[in-house]
Structure 1
Amino acid sequence: MEQELLVPELLAPLVRNTIFSGHIHHYLQVESTNLLAKAAALGASEAASEGEVFIAEEQTAGRGRGSHQWYSEREAGIYCSVVLRPQIKAADILWLSLIAAVALQDAMKEVTGLSPDIRWPNDLLINDKKFCGILTEVHTESDRVHHAIVGIGINVNHRALPADLESTATSLHLETGKEWSRLQLTASLLKALDREYRALLRAVNSPVPSSTARFESILKRVEARSSYARGKHVHVDENGGFSGITDGLDTRGFLRVRTEQGLRMAISGSVRPLARRTDAAGD
C-alpha cells in the first residue's frame, strides 16, 4: 500500500463538522508534536485556538509519560497533538486521557476491526503489547484548565521495533501482517475524539449536582473497554509502589486498587499486570 502523507488537503474533507476542521498543521519532521502544540497554545501574539492539530511524519524526540521517549519512525506511524481548551476543573483533567483512549479504540475498530485493550490511563494494547500511547499535558490557572495538549502516538506500519522495545511494544503491521491507511486511521481518530470530547463537555456542564451522575456514562464506557478496570491483579508504580486487584474508576477517573492494606487510588503511576495470586486482596 502506498502511504499518503497526512497533509491537511487530504484530511480536511474527512473531518468536516468537527472541532478540528480547518485547524490541521502538517510537518515532515519535528522534535515533538506536543512541544510544538504547547508553544502554539502559549503563543505570545496569537495563541492556538481550540481544535488545532499538529501532525508530523517523524519526531526526533517523541515523548511518552515521565522520561520515556516515543519511537517515531518516519511515515510509519501517527504522531499528532491537539490543543483543547475545556472549561473544566484541573481535578477533572484525567478524563481527557481516558476519552482519548476510548476514541482511539473506536477508530481502531472502525478501520481495522480490532478491539485493543485500554491499559489505564493512557495505553492501548494488542496481545498485551503497547502500540499506542497518550500524553496529556495541561496549563492551569488557579483551579481551572487554561488549555490541554493531548498527544497521541500510534505504531501503525512499523515492520520492526528497536530491540529494547520488542518484548513490550508492537505495531498494527506486526500484529496483522498488513499495512493500514494512516490517513483513514487519523481521520477516524479525530472524528471519534471530537465525539468523545463533546460528550465530556456535556457531562461537565450538566446541571446534575452529583459528579458521580455527571460522569457515569463516560466512566462506564471506559470501564467496559478495559480489562484493567476491574478484577486485574496489578502493580502500580507510585508512592513507592503497591499491588492489588483493580476495582473500577472513581468519579475523577482514578483507578481504585484493593490491596492487602485496604483501598488505594492510582493517581498517575504506571500500571502493570501481575500473575494472579490465590491469596491476593479482593479474591
Structure 2
Amino acid sequence: MTDFPTDNAGIARSGQNRDAMEGTLTDERLGHLVRLLGDHPTVVMSGTKIADELGVSRSEVWRLIEHLRELGVQIEGHPATGYQLGAIPDLLLPEALEPQIKGTLFAHNVHHYFRIGSTNVAAMQAGAAGAPEGTVFVAEEQTAGKGRGGHSWHSVESAGIYCSVLLRPRVAPADALILALAAGVATADAIASVTGLAPDLRWPNDLLFGLKKFCGILTELNAEATRVRYVVIGVGINVNHQEFPEEISKVATSLRLESGRVWSRVEVAAALLKSLDRVYAELLRGGAEARRGMIARFQEMSSLAKDRRVFVEEDGGYAGTSAGLDERGFLQVSTNHGKSVRTVLSGGVRSIEDVEGIRQLHH
C-alpha cells in the first residue's frame, strides 16, 4: 500500500469512499483448509480426509481447492490422488496471525480478504455498525486504497501488508493526532524488531528509507464535538515488492529492496499488531505524560522533525526549516529566516531534497 505521489497520510474525518467497494470476507473454510494442508506439508491428503475435517462434501473440497488455486495458492494433486501444498503460503489468514498475537487487543477478531477495495473503508463501516475495539481487517490486495488527499495506493497481491485496526479511545478529537504519531512509532518499532532496519519517520506518520517511502499510515475518525466515537488506523507496508511502476520507482521502496531478502508477511504483520497494542496501551495508561513522551519519541525517530529544510504543501505551499513538534504533536516550521514560526495542521511535508528529486523525476 503506497500512497503516491509521496503523500503524507493524515487524519481524516469519516466519509464514504464510493470507489472503494468492500470485498468478500474470506470463507473460514479456506483458512482451515490452508492450515490443514500446512500442518501436513509432506503428506498427500485425500479428499475424503479433508472433507471429514472440514465437515463438507468431497465436491465442496474440490471447489475450495480450485478457489485457492485461483487466488494463487500452490496446491498439487487432484480428487483421485489427494492434495498437497506445493509451497507454504505466506497469507495473512486469521489462522496464521492469531496464534502470534495472543494476549493483545487484536487477538480474536481478525477479518481477512483476498481482495478488497479498502481495508479502511471496511473498518469505518464496521465501526459505524458497532464492531468492538480491536477488530482487524487485513487483505492480500487492495483495489481502491486511498491515502490523504485522495491519492491511490500501489498494491501488489500478497507482496505487502494492507491492514486496518478499529479503536475506541476515550479522547477528544483535538487529541487524535497523537494516535497517528503513535502509529508511526509503533510501525517503525515493529519493522526494526523484525528486520533490524531503522526507518525514518516523516510527519505525521510516513515511513521512509532515505528519500524513498515504503509505508504509509492513514488515520480516520468518527467524532462528536467533544469525543471520538471510533478511530481507524490503516497501515500499508511494502514488504516483498521487487519493483514499482516507472513513475514512482525513484520514490518508492520495500523491505525486500532495502535488505536484499524476502520477509514473512505474517511475521511482520504480527509484529505490527503487537507493537500497536503496546503503544496504544501505554497512551491509555499514561495520560498526559505518555502523550508528551510519544511526541518526544516521534521527534527523536524523525530526521525531518527538526533542523531540516522542508517544503509544506499547505496554504499554497511554503518552504522553511522544521522546528520540532509542539505540545499537541503538530509540526512547527520556521520561515522567513527564523522571523516567524508556522504550525503545520494537515499539509504534506517533504524535505527539500525530496522535492528537488521529484522535480527531476518529472523532467
Q: Fold match, TM over 0.5?
A: yes
Work out whether 1:7 is the aligned partner of 2:93.
Answer: yes
Q: How far apart are 1:148 and its partner, in Å?
A: 0.6
Instruction: Determine if contact 1:3/1:181 at 8 Å carries over to the other structure.
Output: no
The CA deviation string for residues 183-231 of structure 1, in whole angstroms up to 9 with x for no partner, is 0000001000011111111233xxxxxx5x5522111111111101111
Q: Secondary structure at the match of 2:121?
A: helix
Instruction: Determine if contact 1:234/1:244 at 8 Å carries over to the other structure.
Output: yes
Q: Secondary structure at the match of 2:150?
A: coil
Instruction: Determine if contact 1:80/1:153 at 8 Å carries over to the other structure.
Output: yes
Instruction: Determine if contact 2:178/2:291 at 8 Å carries over to the other structure.
Output: no
Alignment correspondent of 1:248: 324
By percentage of residues, which structure has more helix? 2
Give the whole-Å Cα distance in 2 for the aligned partners of 1:275 and 1:126: 14
Give the whole-Å Cα distance in 1 for the aligned partners of 2:179 and 2:330: 12
Instruction: Determine if contact 1:3/1:182 at 8 Å carries over to the other structure.
Output: no
* Counterpart amino acid of residue 202 in structure 1: R
The CA deviation string for residues 125-167 of structure 1, in whole angstroms up to 9 with x for no partner, is 0122000000000000122110011001000001111111111
Alignment correspondent of 1:159: 242
Work out whether 1:235 is the aligned partner of 2:298.
Answer: no
Give the alignment partner of residue 161 of structure 2, picking from 78, 83, 86.
Answer: 78
Give the whole-Å Cα distance in 1 for the aligned partners of 2:247 and 2:170: 40
Give the whole-Å Cα distance in 1 for the aligned partners of 2:172 and 2:308: 30
Instruction: Determine if contact 2:282/2:290 at 8 Å carries over to the other structure.
Output: no
Give the whole-Å Cα distance in 2 for the aligned partners of 1:9 and 1:2: 13
Q: How far apart are 1:2 and its partner, in Å?
A: 5.3
Give the whole-Å Cα distance in 2 for the aligned partners of 1:229 and 1:215: 17
Larger Rg over CA atoms: 2
Alignment correspondent of 1:281: none
Percent identity reads 50
Work out whether 1:93 is the aligned partner of 2:171.
Answer: no
Give the whole-Å Cα distance in 2 for the aligned partners of 1:63 and 1:275: 25
Work out whether 1:222 is the aligned partner of 2:298.
Answer: yes
Instruction: Determine if contact 2:283/2:290 at 8 Å carries over to the other structure.
Output: no
Alignment correspondent of 2:340: 262
Q: How far apart are 1:275 and its partner, in Å?
A: 5.0
Alignment correspondent of 1:184: 267
* Counterpart amino acid of residue 74 in structure 1: E
Q: How far apart are 1:4 and its partner, in Å?
A: 1.5
Number of positions where the alignment pairs a residue of Structure 1 with one of Structure 2: 266
Instruction: Determine if contact 1:30/1:58 at 8 Å carries over to the other structure.
Output: yes
Alignment correspondent of 2:350: 272
Unmatched runs of 5 consecutive residues or more in structure 2: 1-86, 355-363
**TM-score, length-scaled by structure 1:** 0.91
Give the whole-Å Cα distance in 2 for the aligned partners of 1:24 and 1:275: 40
Q: How far apart are 1:3 and its partner, in Å?
A: 4.3
Give the whole-Å Cα distance in 2 for the aligned partners of 1:13 and 1:275: 43
**TM-score, length-scaled by structure 2:** 0.71
Alignment correspondent of 2:14: none
Q: Secondary structure at the match of 1:264?
A: strand
The CA deviation string for residues 66-116 of structure 1, in whole angstroms up to 9 with x for no partner, is 111111110000001000100001001111111111111111111100011
Give the whole-Å Cα distance in 2 for the aligned partners of 1:214 and 1:72: 34
